[in-house]
Structure 1
């Protein structure tokens, strides 16, 4: 028997070929997995990730709603514009109305003041006429027997010949007259050149009292220098003048319209 027959071998037992192959396959799989993971990581690190957002597709109903909303917005804008225009028009109208009211008040005040002055003047003339009525009556008594002679008679004859002619403002004959036009033409018959208007005729010649009238004296109504009517005294408490459009040239008693004063030019 060999002297080594009972010595155990210290060598590790050999693995079988199948075991070795299996371990080799596992290792290869692990290495392959690591390689794939590494490649994927490198690829992800090299290329950015792109995300795609999908926008909603407008359907027919949604498009109609959008159009309706746009139309509503336009209508609202139009309404706001129209309201703004109306507000502006209302403001302008209010300002215009306020101005018209102020103008109307001013005009009414002006007319009222003019009416007041006219009424005061009428009252003054009425008082003067009332005062002069008795004076005219006494004057007519003192002159009732007076008889016109010479130039006065010619003036009186002329004005009486025009009785019945029409009264026309600015008229100087031969068939229509105003008061001062008749006086100017009548006195021109005897060579007296009277001014054209009653205001100037009332200061032409010598002022005389209504108590001492003579035929041929010029009567005036209003104050001297601003008279609004003239006529000629023809005696017996009567006068002839172009009165107004309704009477024309007429002969009237002194009491019909008592004059304010008189001037003597003959």
Structure 2
């Protein structure tokens, strides 16, 4: 999931500052694309484990999730220092593990009537369309609009993940979210990360220099992975109504 503290920090750094990395997003895009490809490979591997040896998936999922979190913080710190040669393999490993941990959700989507492979493709296309629109809108935001939107999205994402944490805690006690509420939460997640994708194009060039392109790639990666997850959750919830 997206690191909201990094998001708020970037917003504070951007306030009142000129663009410090005019080319940083264009330099980050190839690495963003490569990360998404590695994520797809990791998800494919996870689906293979679920199909061939389902009892092995959960312990490997937990291990992958722990290593993924460690890699995120280490790679993020290294990338912010501009040590790109060190950060790159860490981010590649992070992307693969991220795909592996996403494979459970993708497996559920594949098994949900009305979603399936076409729903997964639709979620991916939705992310692509969002990127195109966000690039046009976010790059042309005024400082007043950009900061206002940034604050709104930041608060919304914090609230969203508090709710998701609550969902997780309740699930341990056998209390699961009703379909109508899951639809609402997932729909809110989609809206917030569409907004975050717009904010990225305003915040990131004001927060990172051109040499910190891997930090920007990681930030954008988190935005689009989360958007993909919430679109998929929404499709599953809509097609699994009681």
Q: Which has the bigger relative contact order, CA under 8 A and spacing at least 6?
A: 2
For the aligned pair, the TM-score class normalised by the smaller chain equals: under 0.3
TM-score, reference length from structure 1: 0.23
More strand per residue: 1
Structure with bigger helix share is 2
